[in-house]
């Protein structure tokens, strides 16, 4: 099952899918999961006391990404200003998380940083195409 198909089947969308928005939704969903997992992995690292800010950024980003994809999948009616604000906030949270994770050499932080870069880019593109 794909989120793009689910959104396009909504009666108010009627097959006219906003591709950039659908891509941002998909990446925000993935980013929420990856940031959550990265925060947990950071807690298991030997230098956890040095990763407090990284854990916080990952947790904040995960929650903001989750809220963003939830708002963005609602297609009944319109609330464009809130949706645009959510997409911009998500991009900002992803930027901050990517910056924090990029300071660590472990695989989970590298993966998280990459996902955050992709999500931020997609959210900005979606906001521009509303």
- Per-residue DSSP letters for 3-49? HHHHHHTSTTTTT---HHHHHHHHHHHHHHHHHHHHHHHHHHSTTGG
Question: Has residue 3 been placed in a domain?
Answer: no
Question: Has residue 65 been placed in a domain?
Answer: yes
Question: Has residue 12 been placed in a domain?
Answer: no
Per-residue model confidence (pLDDT) at position 119: 98
Per the structure, the count of domains in the chain is 1
What CATH number does residue 69 fall under?
1.20.1270.360
Question: Has residue 106 been placed in a domain?
Answer: yes
Per-residue model confidence (pLDDT) at position 36: 98
Question: Has residue 13 been placed in a domain?
Answer: no
**pLDDT tens string 119-129:** 999 999 999 99
Question: Has residue 122 been placed in a domain?
Answer: yes
Question: Has residue 1 been placed in a domain?
Answer: no
Per-residue model confidence (pLDDT) at position 65: 98
How much is the pTM? 0.93
SS3 content of the chain, % helix, strand, coil (to 5): 75, 0, 25
**pLDDT tens string 105-119:** 999 999 999 999 999
Q: For residue 119, what are the domain limits? A: 19-128
């Amino acid at each position: 099952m794909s989120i793009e198909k689910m959104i396009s089947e909504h009666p108010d969308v009627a097959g006219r899918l906003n591709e950039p928005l659908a891509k941002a939704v998909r990446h925000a969903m993935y980013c929420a999961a990856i940031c959550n997992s990265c925060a947990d992995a950071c807690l298991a690292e030997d230098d956890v006391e040095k990763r407090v800010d990284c854990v916080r950024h990952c947790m904040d980003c995960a929650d903001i990404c989750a809220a963003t994809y939830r708002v963005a999948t609602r297609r009944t009616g319109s609330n464009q200003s809130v949706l645009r604000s959510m997409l911009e906030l998500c991009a900002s949270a992803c930027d901050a998380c990517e910056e924090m994770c990029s300071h660590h050499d472990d695989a989970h932080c590298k993966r998280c940083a990459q996902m955050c870069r992709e999500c931020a880019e997609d959210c900005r593109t979606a906001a521009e195409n509303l």
